Amino acid sequence: MTTQIWQYLDFLGVAIFAITGGLVAARLRQDFIAFLFFSVVTGMGGGTLRDLILDAPVFWVVNGDYLLVCAAAAVFMWFCAEWVEQWGQPLRWLDALGISAYTVMGAAKALDLGHPSTVAVLMGLSSATFGGITRDVIAGEPSALLQREIYLAAAFTGALIYVVLEIYTSQTLVAAICGSLGAFILRAGAIAYGWTLPSYKSKN
């Protein structure tokens, strides 16, 4: 997969997450500065954490276009939030799309920097979920992290699929598609059908 395609996917993942941040700001009836804040924190939170942990240049500092993407998402939601709300559970479905894109992006960057597969999977997981979790904590909203439905497991599975296929087949495009689909299918199942993993039950 060319660098340009990765760049487009990265912008797409940031844009989707930024839109969810703007959607939360709209639900809270915040002013436009708050829209910008939520869009930036949600859109770039996961990637920022990834780059800091990997000791890599923070992506939006290197390329300021990411800030423009978040700003555009904030403007879009300022005018179109009511329309987006008509989709039916838009926040959860947009989160699912963002997770499916960014779990692969996070894992791919770790591998490109020469880190081992275990680190790559962890970076895929954190990149895909940290922004959304931060958004919900700041907004005082119930986080999907604390729900029983599949959330972290979807990102973990997507990252694992991508890393395994990338390492053993070197078919980057196939690995990226399979990883993204794996994450999205699990998260979609959780949203649409309430899929869950077994929870801990104390024997006491």
Over residues 41-63, the pLDDT tens digits come to 999 999 999 999 999 999 999 99
Half-sphere exposure of 154 (CA within 13 A, CB side): 29
Q: Tell me whether residue 35 is exposed, middle or buried, using C-beta atoms within 10 angstroms of its C-beta: 0 to 12, 13 to 18, 19 or more.
A: buried
Q: State the chain's mean pLDDT as an integer.
A: 92
Instruction: Give me 78's structure tokens.
Output: 């300022």
Q: What is the spatial distance between Cα 146 and Cα 127, in angstroms, rounded to a whole number? A: 18
CA distance linking residue 136 with residue 125, whole number of Å: 17
**Which of 1-5, 87-91, 108-112, 113-117 comes out lowest in average pLDDT?**
1-5
3-class DSSP assignment, residue 143: coil
pLDDT(100) > 90: yes
Report the sign of the C-alpha dihedral through residues 3, 77, 86, 139, in that order: positive
**Per-residue pLDDT averaged across 150-171, rounded?**
95
- Predicted pLDDT of residue 65: 95
Give the domain ranges of the chain.
3-193
State if pTM tops 0.95: no
